[in-house]
A and B are shown apart, each in its own frame.
Chain A
Amino acid sequence: MSRLHGPEERSGVSRRNFLKGMSAGALAAGAVASPARSKAAPPAQEKGAKLLGPDPVPVTLQVNGKERRLPLEPRVTLLDALRNHLDLTGAKKVCDRATCGSCTVLLDGRAVYSCTVLAIEAQGRRIETVEGLAESQGGLARIQRCFVENDAQQCGFCTPGFVMACESFRRSHQNATREQVLDGLGGNLCRCGTYHGVTQAVLDAMGGGQ
């Protein structure tokens, strides 16, 4: 299936690396989950590594050009930080495990699944959400206008994620073919069936400047 070519190729955050990261995260989460264990000796760790949590820690996120400081438990994902703590609800929670792309945001300009990035990992990096994309270009960004014109949305729940994936693709491809578009957007899923409009929207958006 086209999902074999997921956003990991463009994001730099591969599922495999994420899973590797999870094994460390899972140890930390285990300590959080069990008060009894959290009193015991911390799990084996590399010398000098700092163990965060389980209580909230101060976190600073650069979201849409603004610095946002907030206390977050280390287990909070970037998606949940955006949605539940900053009320930026454009990115959606659908699969919650890096399959569907509805939570796509840009991290340092590259598309990532924000449901599988921890908020603490996103510190010091430039986070762009669908809300910021619209604001930064005074109303709707070009890709968003192309979505509207091509009716690339029905229920709209996958749309913000698709918009961000398309924006990332558009920025990194000057003159992509239809096949490249289909390949590049394999990391997002839609249930209503808007793929035809999405494909056309990306092609139109690449058709000229901002």
Chain B
Amino acid sequence: MKPARIDLAWPDPKDCSILGTRVARLDGPDKSAGRAKYTYDANRPRMLWAKFATCPWGHAKVRSVDVSAVEKMPGVVTVDVIAGPGSELNVAYQEVAIVTAESEELAREAARRVKVEYDVLELYVADHDVEMAGNRAREGREAKNGDPDAALASAAVVSETEIGCSILTHCCLEPHGSVVEVTEKDGRKSVTAWCSTQAISGVAGEFAGNAGVDAGDVHAICHHMGGGFGSKFGIDSWGAWAARLAARTGRPVKVMLERDMELALAGSRPSAYGRIRVGTNDDGEIVAFDAHAWGSGGTGGGAGVNRLPYIFGGIPNTRSKVTQIATNTGGARAWRAPNHPQMCLLTMAALSDAAAELGMDEIEFFRRNLKFTDRARVYEEELRIAGELIDWKGKWKGRGEAKRGPLRRGLGLAMHTWGGGGHDSNVQCTLQPDGGVELRCGTQDLGVGARTVIGVVAAETFGLPIERITVRIGENVFPASGGSGGSTTVGGISSATRHASVQAVNQLFEAVAGELGAAPGDLAAKSGTVHVAADPSRSMPFADACRRLGTQPQVTMGRTQGSLMSSQVGGVQAAEVEVDVETGIVRVMKLVAVQDCGRIVDLLTAESQVRGALIMGVCSALYEERVMDPVTGTLLNPDLEFYKLAGIADVGELVVHMMQTPEHLGRGVIGLGEPPVIAPMAAISNAVANAVGARVKRCPMTPDRVLAALEA
């Protein structure tokens, strides 16, 4: 390879024209105009609709399945029994049969008319009650540090906290699903599959296996997707059936989950509850942390909590025990920052209660104990900024000391951390002789701006306006890129894009240096021109420079570059709430998020992602939870009327502060998918405790739970 003329390293922020600024997302116009095509929108000629018949019990054995009436229905094309007689189903809404029909209405009707008899088996869904769980509870090993019992016995003050949060679902607005078409040409079968997935580069094999073709003959497409949040990696049984049925019928098949199945089966966040004791000395320093936590993610246990405490791992005397509760509930999948929001809630609530027990200002208590975290210096700065932005000094009152009257205000804090890093990504850059620049990457945009990130990095590197960059993503035929999970996408694709673009620019410099009378290393690409860096008057338009490359497009390949990304971020969030102590209704007045994420690519979409995370946190804190029926084991709120999300008026004022000091911008790029969604539930819980003088023991803090806490 020729020696690099411009550095791979991110340019100095003060020299950047677009990197790190507020850039409107590239697919914004398509989305606002309704032109963006999602998997759900793929309509194909002669397409069949598929719908599932599902089990209404949380645990049952299938006695019989009668599809005779369905098979006779005109317009029904296929009927397949998935769970035949003798099959044991251990979660409600599991698939029993699948039908395809000429129209959506008919497929729904046909699925409803599948007659199934069940023998109902013993079932259990109460994930919150560790005492009631009996043989459904499995106690985990105790993790211990120091001597927590002795430290608690000698502590000046010991506080006790009971806190937890229910099972949530991912609730992607575009449900899970695929549209699969099998075509045959010259005796060779190939598959085109539209799939709402967080890993478009990784789904070909699954479709191939189910459709009976080679993986190389699968064209998988996900140009746009309606949310994933960690729940959409594989093609699932739904995609597999779409592939099998498309292969068998020779017709395109669309399988998109109905909302109830989506909420019951297609992704959930495990619950976590705990009893925690915190011992402190007279100076407000934590000397002991003793936690017993439990919860459930489904039939295998899978509580949403690992070792506690969260972040404050340096506390000297700790005990952490987790009990797994097996429930007949389904679909636990990675939910943004798996287990972190739950562990954050359990830890931050316990710390807040310790501060209250001491009669100490919460922000001061956190500050005094930062030495037990890994990033004390960063957190201290973030605490200071968060405190200023929410006017902590002006508004803070001790717990339960809010002004009397029905409406009580309170403040609360929480902190979080996440790793990040970047996944393995490949990006292809093509320079056309007419000056066209195209970037291709087999990544996908979950809604966070992946397409725009690639465009911004390329535009900065080529010195072009972003409108002149064409970005193509969301197809498995593009260079492979990792699945979007764990906040690793932006690190991977931004560094691979930079790598491909830098090589392309340097080759361009080689081609035009002689004509500009300078060495390639003396050139720069800026403002749509290639020019001599020291003498911008010796320049040529970018398109003219590309013409010197000859008639053939110039192609360069980039890969994820470790030197361009980092990991480990943190953030501090503060909440101000108002609680109506007569009705139990909590209103979020203001949320502040102070967040570091290393080098920022697009400030606009970064801020949007943090705001969105705050809103999701409001939902977890106040509104959303999966409600299971202890008798039938089915989901009692399988729709958006009763599976509650915050509305536009429910979220209060949102203030986002991105850390942009030279120290932070000097780091590599780190993703934001997980970090900002971790702390809001805990901060809001602490603010409510501060306002009403009592800990509401479970999130979401619905009015009944708030009133119960007030009466306790």
The chain A residues found within 8 Å of chain B, CB to CB, are: 1-3, 5, 32-33, 73, 75-76, 80, 83-84, 87-97, 99-100, 102, 129-131, 133-134, 139-140, 144-145, 147-149, 151-160, 163, 182-183, 185-186, 188-199
Contacts and interface: CB of A to CB of B under 8 A. Distances in A.
Most buried by A among B37, B112, B651: B651
B623 A1 contact: yes
Contacts of A144: 29, 32-33
Given A2-B647, A2-B648, A195-B651, A97 B227 contact: no
B28 A182 contact: no
Interface in B603-659: 604-605, 607-609, 611-616, 623, 639-641, 644-651, 654
A193 B613 contact: yes
A107 to B, nearest CB: 17
Interface residues of B, number: 61
Contact of A147 (B32, B226, B650): B32
Cβ-closest 10 pairs across A and B: A90-B34, A155-B447, A193-B612, A157-B226, A193-B615, A156-B31, A2-B649, A130-B34, A2-B647, A89-B41
B643 to A, nearest CB: 9
Interface of B: 24-25, 27-29, 31-38, 40-41, 43, 103-105, 109, 112-113, 171-174, 224-227, 229, 258-259, 446-449, 604-605, 607-609, 611-616, 623, 639-641, 644-651, 654
Contacts of A198: 648
Given A151-B24, A191-B173, A131 B259 contact: no
14 contacts: A1-B623, A32-B109, A33-B112, A90-B34, A139-B29, A159-B31, A163-B32, A188-B648, A189-B640, A191-B229, A192-B227, A193-B616, A195-B646, A196-B651
Given A134-B32, A153-B25, 17 more contacts: A1-B623, A2-B647, A33-B112, A83-B43, A89-B43, A94-B173, A95-B639, A99-B641, A148-B29, A151-B28, A153-B31, A153-B32, A156-B226, A157-B174, A191-B227, A193-B612, A196-B654
Contacts of B29: 139-140, 144, 148
Chief secondary structure at chain B's binding surface: loop
A188 B109 CA distance: 28
What is the interface of chain A mostly: helix, strand, loop, or mixed? loop
Interface-centre pick from B28, B448, B623 (highest chain A CB count, 10 A): B28
Contacts of B25: 148, 151, 153
Contact of B28 (A3, A99, A148, A189): A148
A88 B645 CA distance: 27
A172 B259 CA distance: 32
A38 B419 CA distance: 62
Contacts of B607: 151
Contacts of A188: 647-648
Given A89-B43, A95-B640, A129 B34 contact: yes
A29 to B, nearest CB: 9
Nearest to B604: A151
B639 to A, nearest CB: 6
Contacts of B647: 1-3, 186, 188-189, 195
A185 B614 CA distance: 19
A199 B648 contact: yes
Contact of B34 (A76, A89, A154, A193): A89
A4 B38 CA distance: 30
Contacts of A32: 109
A151 B605 contact: yes
Contacts of A83: 41, 43
B36 A156 contact: yes
B485 to A, nearest CB: 16
A92 B174 contact: yes
A189 to B, nearest CB: 5
Contacts of B226: 92, 155-157
Contacts of B650: 1-2
Contacts of A196: 608, 611, 651, 654
The residue among A32, A33, A144, A183 with the most chain B CB atoms within 10 A of its own CB is: A144
B612 A154 contact: yes
A194 to B, nearest CB: 6
Nearest to A195: B648
A155 B227 contact: yes
Given A2-B647, A186-B649, A189-B647, A153 B612 contact: no
Given A151-B608, A156-B27, A156-B31, A191 B648 contact: no
